[in-house]
Amino acid sequence: MECISIFDMLKIGVGPSSSHTLGPWRAGRRWISELKEKNNFESVSAITIDLYGSLSLTGKGHATDIAVILGLCGYDPQTIDVSKITTIIDTIKASKELNFNNELLVSFDPLSQIIFNKEFKEFHPNGMTFHATLKNGKKISSSFYSIGGGFVVKEERKRKEKKLEKFQDFPLPIQKATDLLEYCNAKNKNVSEIVLENERSLRSDVEIDERIAQVWNVMLASMYTGCHTEGTLPGGLNVRRRAFDTHKKLIGDTAYKNPTEWIEAIRNTEVKFRQILKWVSCFALAVNEVNASLGRVVTAPTNGSAGVIPAVMMYYMVIENHDANFEDVKKFMLVAGEIGSLFKKGATISAAMGGCQAEIGVSSAMAAGALTELMGGTPAQVLMASEIAMEHHLGLTCDPIGGLVQIPCIERNAMGAIKAINACEMALDTDAANAKVPLDKVIETMWETAQDMNTKYKETSEGGLAVKVSLSDC
């Protein structure tokens, strides 16, 4: 049992991967805190990092080495100027010095002191161990695990008791979809209203609104940036950015100066059926092209699936309801965050544990449920839409070519967004009382599927498209 806030599911960070980039980045910062708590920080004279399993096999393509370095330098993934990342890393490589937490210069050569180990640690596929040599010659180490969505844990789960305590402090503790539906029925409230009650036990209404606004602003900025940036993505696959060309064809010569005016411009554009599909795909592609180039995005619930939720929210704003405002965004994020937390509690949101069904599948389910509430669906229909979306992602593998979060990851966000909208429409046209597959059952099935899935299809680049197409082919 865990108390999971929607802001645990929707984190602001830097691409391309929540488990391989944001998680290791946050782990580096946590290790610094550990060293300081034990009064060892000032005594550090040398550092090495061991990366294991999936973090090693696809770590370079996912910028895990870069993320670890930035975390050890003390940078905050929410606020770092992403345009300076390349310069920071190049300086460290050239000088072979790292400014540890921006306080202490230590000699550091990334090529020899970040070690990629192919073996897997038993606790989780995304394992890493930080080693420090102190000035007195003593060697100390600490291991962390990036379990998806930017969540980082220690194997012993020291925070488990505290988490359980917090969970029990929630006025409406929710572990399964049936719990959520029971609260909705008993209180005659929508899903978003139930989730808001729990969020209010953690923070004030003002803070909730401020943080949701921050999340949406980053989502909107990533869509806007992606739609207005052309060229080729980094990494060696030579993937051309497609959102720019698609957007240019769709928007035409319409004038605007900022993201707010951009939304109005799209609303005023005559949109036909095929163009709706193109707009939704364009929004999703834009976000994940930004993600693939170490840009700022929101984990939703992961970086690799960051494009689905903003694309579907934008669809509602520019296609379904031109009067949509912040209150609609708020409801959407509350519902989406809660649906995501159900999957984290009952299954996984880590591709290294469950394949891409754990990322695109979950994000599509989150978006489908959230859109259904905005479209006037009942709580039962919200859960049904989420179930439909996940049901048709079951078994989806994670096989990134070259270990990069580009092919097939970027396109999958567009597909996940379209499926979410379709799932919403099907749920709205159905009496949810007659649903044959409850959401809890599809979550259980997803976890069983994850456990049965061959490891080579779990973010290792050792199976599927990753071995059929190589960097040299591109």
* pLDDT tens figures, 152-177: 999 765 445 555 444 457 899 999 99
Asked whether residue 355 carries a pLDDT value surpassing 60, the answer given is: yes
- How far out from the chain centre does Cα 146 lie? 12
Those residues whose C-beta lies under 8 Å from the C-beta of residue 461, and which sit 6 or more positions away, are: 57, 58, 61, 399, 400, 401, 402, 403, 467
Whole-number pLDDT of residue 469: 87
Q: Name 104's bridge partners.
A: 100
DSSP 364-388: HHHHHHHHHHHTT--HHHHHHHHHH
Please state which of the ranges 130-134, 163-167, 320-324, 442-446 shows the lowest mean pLDDT. Answer: 163-167
Averaged over 380-385, what is the pLDDT?
98
Mean pLDDT of 97-125: 94
Sign of the Cα torsion 220, 226, 229, 235 reads: positive
Residues pairing with 153 in the sheet: 145
Residue 106 has pLDDT above 70, yes or no: yes
Confidence of residue 263 (pLDDT cuts 50, 70, 90): very high
C-beta separation of 349 from 358 below 8 A: yes
C-alpha to C-alpha distance for 351 and 148, rounded to whole angstroms: 7
Mean of the pLDDT values across residues 328-344? Answer: 98
Residue 127 β-bridge partners: 145
For 127-138, what is the mean pLDDT? Answer: 96
pLDDT in tens, 412-471: 999 999 999 999 999 999 998 888 999 999 999 999 999 999 999 999 999 999 999 877
Residue whose C-alpha is closest to residue 386's, from 334, 330, 427:
427
Taking alpha carbons only, the member of 360, 356, 338 closest to residue 450 is 356
- What integer pLDDT is reported at residue 474 of this predicted model? 66
Residue 274 confidence (pLDDT): 81
- Per DSSP, 449 falls in state H
